[in-house]
Amino acid sequence: MAKKQQQPKLDANGERKQRSQFGEAWHRMKKDKGAMLGLAVVSILVLVAILSNFLLDYDTDVVGMNTKERLQAPNAKHLLATDEYGRDILFRILYGSRYSLSVGLVAVAIALVAGVTLGAIAGYKGGAVEEVIMRFTDIFSSVPNMLMALVVVSALGQSMLNLMIAIGVTSIPQFVRITRATVLTVRNQEYVESARAIGLSTPQIIISHILPNSLSPIIVQTTLRVASAIISASSLSFLGLGIPAPNPEWGSMLSGGRKFIRDYPYMTLYPGLAIMITVLSLNLLGDGLRDALDPKLKN
């Protein structure tokens, strides 16, 4: 056990320590079956999202309607059936990965930037600043996420951006808390003090010394939050507050197909499975990362 413990001697050089820490984590994660599976699926999804833009023509393949071929069962021409407007469900799911993933990623990016900044400031500065930030965080986090997103979207109006903002805003408190907690644990470490001693400014210290050392929990949280953002988007679609038609976001495909669920389950089955597999993989990946990045759990 002691053999693999990272050497605290390298602390002064944040860069090197970080690399070795993640190398170590990667080594551990490779052994985690669930995590590797999650990583593989997520990589494929990202690839699909990028490639679908080149392989599919948005106007004809994705939103172009052909009502003569509506509501078909899976067949040679439409491998995963067609929807109520005769659009190919497979194409829409492939292209929809762009929307679903970007809703997840952008929403979490919003939360990440806002949350980490506020959390780092709160943790590093302390005092009144911290008190104010944490009280605001309390306010945001004590309203149930779904209700908050619901209120925000119905007030701002429906658009992809507003959806991302609504979901992003509800995730901010988590990031503030995590960042602050980790910053608190590292801010009095020797290397931070030495950085301060050589005259680095506060933002410089936070960005180059404190944040890199708080990365692990933030990475884990980001992975899990992307997953829950995709679920939130589908829930909002169910309530009629999803992204505007005719864009093939999975959640809106799923909720749009629910009135056909009995006679024509394909319209819900495939987008539902797409969501399920994505969320599952992201969660497995997140869990794996958590295990791998947590030095306590080393075997």
Partner 1 sequence: MHRYVLKRIILLIPVLLGVSMLVYCILDLAPGDAADILAPDDATLEEKEALREELGLNRPVLVRYFEYMWKLLHGDLGESYLSPVSVWSAFTQKAPNTLKLGLASVIFAVGTSLPLGIYAARHRGSWKDAISMILAILGLSMPNFWLGLLLMLLFALRLGWLPSGGADMGLRSLILPTITIGTGMMATLTRTTRSSMLDVIRQDYLRTARAKGVTEEVVIKKHALKNALIPIITIIGTMLGGILGGATLTESVFSWPGVGRLIIDSLNGRDTPVVTGCIIMTTMFFSVVLLAVDLIYAFVDPRIKAQYASKSKKGGEKKDGEKAATA
Partner 2 sequence: MKKALAMLLCVLLVVSLLAGCGSKTEPAPSTTPAETKPAETTPAQTTPAAPTPAPAEAKFKDDIIIGIGGKIIDIDPQENSNTQHNYYFRCVFDTPLDFNNQTSELEPNVCTEWSTEDGKTWNFTLRDDVYFHNGEKMTANDVKWTFERGKDSSSSSSLCKPMEEITVIDDTHFSITLASVNVDFPYMLTLPTASILCQKAVEGGEKDALGIGSGPWVLDSYEFGDFLKMTRNDNFWGEKAKAKSLTLRYMPEASARLIALENGEIDVCADPDSNELSHVTSNDKLELQTYTSSSIQYLAFNCEKGIFTNENLRLAMCYGIDRDELVDVVFNGRATKCGSTWGWNEYGYNGGGITEYTYDAEKAAEYLAKEGYGPNNPLTVHCAVSAGTRKSMGELIQSQLKPLGINIVIDEYDTAGLSTMTTAGDHECAFYGCGTNVFGDDITRLIDSNTGVNKSHLHDPQVHELMDAARQELDDAKRTQMYHDVQQRLFDIGAYLPVCTAEADFAVKKGIGGIDYYPTSHHDFSEIYFAEQ
Q: Which is nearer to partner 1, 56 or 180 (CB)?
A: 180
Cα torsion through 130, 133, 138, 140, rounded to 10: -160
Peptide bond before 8: cis, by omega within 30 degrees of 0?
no
Q: Which of 133, 107, 132 is nearest to 118 (CA)?
A: 133
Kindly state the smallest distance separating residue 64's Cβ from partner 1, in Å: 27
- Residue 42 interacts, among partner 2, partner 1, none and using kind-specific CB cut-offs from 5 to 8 Å, with none
- Residue 263 interacts, among partner 2, partner 1, none and using kind-specific CB cut-offs from 5 to 8 Å, with partner 2
* Angstrom distance (rounded) from CA 228 to CA 18: 28
* Binders in 22-51 for partner 1, by CB under 8 A: 31-34, 37
Question: Where does this chain touch partner 1 (CB under 8 A) — which range of 42-50, 54-62, 80-88, 149-157?
Answer: 149-157
Longest dimension (CA), the chain: 74
* Binders in 151-170 for partner 1, by CB under 8 A: 151-152, 154-157
* Angstrom distance (rounded) from CA 152 to CA 124: 31
Of 142, 188, 197, 199, the one binding partner 1 (CB under 8 A) is 142
DSSP class per residue in 157-186: -S-HHHHHHHHHHHHHHHHHHHHHHHHHHH
Of 10, 18, 24, 34, the one binding partner 2 (CB under 8 A) is 34
* Angstrom distance (rounded) from CA 171 to CA 152: 13
* Angstrom distance (rounded) from CA 10 to CA 22: 14
Residue 254, interface with partner 1 (CB under 8 A)?
Answer: yes
Question: Where does this chain touch partner 2 (CB under 8 A) — which range of 18-26, 97-105, 196-204, 252-260?
Answer: 252-260
Q: Given the rule CB under 8 A, which residues bind partner 2?
A: 33-34, 36-37, 59, 63-65, 67, 70-73, 84-85, 154, 157-158, 240-241, 244-246, 258-265, 268-269, 272-273, 276-277
